[in-house]
Chain A
Amino acid sequence: MAVVFYIPSYLRNFTEGRGRVPVDARAATVGEALAELWTLYPGVRDRVVDERGKLRQHINVFVGDTNIRDARGFETVLVQGVEISIIPAVSGG
């Protein structure tokens, strides 16, 4: 299922500068689509999830307008053409 990732500016250091990355694959869930993303760009993985595979605390992933924390997490189901946005949360000081 083809989906498009929105990549925030910091992570573009690891995506050859690309802000939008289409993933044309058989991904049915967010987790599967992310796995495709870090096959293309391995450096994205450790910045989005920790070594246990857990989504970092201050990173949000949206499918369309839905935060996957409010849905089924990495099991959130995708629909054709949807945009997946990786967005740093409001935090820091």
Chain B
Amino acid sequence: MPQARHVTARDGDVLLMIGTMKGAFLLRSDRGRKRWDIGGPYFPGQSIYALAYDGRADRRRLWAGTQSEHWGASLSSSDDFGRTWKEPDSVPIRFPDGSNDSLKRIWQILPGRETEPDTIYCGVEPAALFRSVDSGKSWQLARALYDHPHRKLWQPGGGGLCLHTIVLDPENLKRMWIAISTGGVYRTDDDGASWRPRNVGVSAEFLPDKYPEFGQCVHKVVSHPTKPDRLFLQNHWGLFRSDDGADSWKAIEKGVPTTFGFAMAMHPHDPSTVYNLPIEADMFRATPEGKLRVYRTTNSGGSWQPLTSGLPQKNAYECVLRDSMAVDRLKPAGVYFGTRSGKVFGSSNEGRRWSMVIDGLPPVTCVKVAQISGAAAKPKRKAAKKAARRPVRKRR
């Protein structure tokens, strides 16, 4: 097996986490995001469809959903930027006794809200949601969703029957959305006690009823934390927006060469700006016209414009999967995406100009990005020193 290289990340650095069909890679850069150190491969030979960074509560923890064709799927974590990984003896995410299901793949790992620093969510295949409230030590199946009467009618898409998207309402702690291929969007308003399909206006081209209550093959949903009831949706054919928390959706397709695609990413600072990457068709999953183009709307989907500077515009028949696009939180924001041909592109100026970050990787299955923050730790140390200098007052 290959010997992994490691990156050393410092406060303020940007960490690009790349999952591939044959392992994970960590790329580190300073805030300039021009040069990248490369770490990995981690979990060589395994598919990594989910990666996450948890910087809450002074952590610097990486999470990886691993999948071996031989040894199955599991969940690993690292507190030292990949130098060592903890993989529990017993796979921590498991379907309960009495179920006929077994974990096939982890599709999404999402640290919970800032106000719930020990909560983490995982979306898995077969489609189910798991939650941990103790920083990943133990996991509970979201039972009401698992027992939903629609469940037996959900069908696997090309990637399998997966729960691949989790969107949290940052303020309403009882509300969240999930998306399933193929099941559609579901929302809970009671912290998971019940779930309702929320797909009015979203099409299902592959069914006789083109607008069913559920069963859509939703590929990705994003929203901005300052406008949680406005959601954007990349469908298996179709781009949609909701302004009412997913109660209804309307098409937003002006300017794109095709409405098929997988990836979609929300601008970190502007709730009207969204990125996507159109793919020609489900029967030809490649960028249209051999041109690799990111499309961006800056008016909430009123229109989309191509971003092409620095991207190949000839003989580029690429495909970018649903979790292979990410946006950092710097100003200007960085945008990144990875292709099934093993290329990762990045822009440090919100998509105006792109450059190749790395080429020659195995097929890219996910791209995530985080800025390493030691801000929480530093003041604590200062505070501790200050406290140490302070004379101790005895209680009377």
Contact = CB atoms under 8 A, between A and B. Distances in A.
Interface residues of A, number: 21
A52 B89 contact: no
A56 interface: yes
Interface SS, B side:
loop
A91 B70 contact: yes
A43 interface: yes
A50 B91 CA distance: 9
A46 to B, nearest CB: 4
Given A10-B71, A92-B45, A50 B103 contact: yes
Contacts of A11: 71
B70 A58 contact: yes
Interface in B177-223: none
B349 interface: no
A74 interface: no
Interface residues of B, number: 19
B100 interface: yes
Interface string B84-118: 00011111001100011111000000000000000
B74 A10 contact: no
A17 to B, nearest CB: 15
Given A50-B102, A51-B103, A91 B90 contact: no
Nearest to A44: B89
Given A50-B103, A51-B103, A45 B90 contact: yes
A52 B101 CA distance: 7
A14 B71 CA distance: 12
A50 B69 contact: no
Given A50-B103, A52-B100, A92-B45, A10 B90 contact: no
Interface of B: 45, 68-72, 74, 87-91, 94-95, 99-103
